[in-house]
Amino acid sequence: MASQNAEMNIPANGPAIDRRERLQTTIDSLIKLRQDVVVSYCKLSGVSSFDKRDIESHNVNAKQLRSFCQIMVDYTAMGHFEVYQRIIEGKERRVAVKQVSDEVYPAIAETTDFLVDFNDKYDAFEGSAEDVELLGKDLSKLGQIIAIRGELEDQILDALRQKK
């Protein structure tokens, strides 16, 4: 086996290292997208800083909402297709990852449903008074969902980072 790897210029532990590097890159990308969602959410909801949250007034425009939704959908899809799909399909062999996933993935799936529903609901947002009133209520719930998802997701990501 070592001679075959030498012939192919692949170190004996090369594929495992490549897989770990790809996984870390995926995790880093997912976390970056999550940060982008949070920043975009804060801008959308009109919160520029914790200190100013009660005194700022803010109007949401359709373009800004669509931009937020696109970032949110990208984040949701990346989590599903790049991280959770392997777990969902039962291909994950690490016991720690399987245990954490069994505990938290059902709740992550619920957050995914909410994020997708939010996107679908506001896909045709036009900014009418009624739309804005509904959006205000939904944004409050959305902020909670994003926070919960991040906490749950971190548990799986921490398990994935473990070497065993």
The pLDDT tens digits of the residues spanning 13-51 come to 556 668 788 889 999 999 999 999 999 999 888 876 555
Q: How much is the CA Rg of the chain, to the nearest whole Å?
A: 20
- Supply the DSSP symbol for 57: -
How much is the pTM?
Answer: 0.81
The pLDDT tens digits of the residues spanning 98-148 come to 999 999 999 999 999 999 999 999 988 887 888 888 898 899 999 999 999
Q: Are 118 and 142 in contact (CB under 8 A)?
A: yes
How many independent structural domains does the chain possess? 1
Q: How many residues does the chain have?
A: 164
**DSSP characters for 129-163?**
HHHHHHHHHHHHHHHHHHHHHHHHHHHHHHHHHS-
Here the CATH number for the domain that contains residue 30 is 1.20.120.1370
Residue 68 belongs to what domain range? 2-161
